[in-house]
Amino acid sequence: MSNFLNSIKARRTIYAIGKNVSVDQATIEETIREAVKQSPSSFNSQTSRVVTLYGASHTNFWNIVRETLRKIVPAEAFESTNAKIDSFAAGFGTALFYEDQDVVKGLQEQFALYADNFPVWSEHSSAIAQFATWTALAEIGIGASLQHYNPIIDEEVAETFAIPANWKLRAQLVFGSVEAPAGEKTYMDDAARFKTFN
């Protein structure tokens, strides 16, 4: 199997993460930046924006999620929610994936023929950047899971981390040392998924 296929196979959802990473923060930061920079985007519009939180900022972020959920999750269900947030806060960092809506709007104005497509392509670009980052982190031994607490946290997160109003939060990749392996993964039948014609 090619190195690339081995790498994408090694990327899994890792929920049991910790702070015992064996690479330094600068290496993680460089990995995230390079993965996002090398990800394609429609018209090379580079709509993806990433805010990476470490240390107190990472903890602060997960406390914002926790307190936001506390207001909406029924009290009797909050214990498990709280434990889940603890498991994310136990990680080493969180990468927040945004898409710059000003760039999307600019493209819609500039290329009216494709106006409906640009928001869709922006979502595709974000997904590609998320996947590349997730896979690149796995390659350096960092485990991660992809979370979606947007949009309920957006306002407070934007205020706390001085996020521009035109950046739209799409996903949160929380990462750290791998403290337990990924769960078993099942695959649907190839026959139901792929068609090939000659």
Ligand X SMILES: Cc1cc2nc3c(=O)[nH]c(=O)nc-3n(C[C@H](O)[C@H](O)[C@H](O)COP(=O)(O)O)c2cc1C
Angle at 95 between CA 178 and CA 125, to 5 degrees: 115
What is the phi/psi pair of residue 152, to 5°? -65, -25
Between residues 185 and 195, which has the closer beta carbon with respect to ligand X? 185
Q: Does 193 bind ligand X (CB under 6 A)?
A: no
The residues in 159-188 that bind ligand X, with binding defined as CB under 6 A, are: 182, 185
Q: Which of 145, 167, 168, 178 binds ligand X (CB under 6 A)?
A: 145
Q: How far is CA 151 from CA 129, 171, 172, 180, in A?
A: 19, 10, 11, 30
Size of the site for ligand X (CB under 6 A): 8
Residue 80 found at the interface with ligand X (CB under 6 A): no
Q: Contact region for ligand X (CB under 6 A) — 25-33, 43-51, 109-117, 143-151?
A: 143-151
Per rule CB under 6 A, is residue 124 in the interface with ligand X? no
Verify binding: residue 135, ligand X, rule CB under 6 A: no
| Geometric angle at alpha carbon 93, from 175 and 141, rounded to 5° | 40
Residue 84 interacts with ligand X (CB under 6 A): yes or no: no
Reduced to 3 states (helix: H, G, I; strand: E, B; else coil), residue 131 is helix
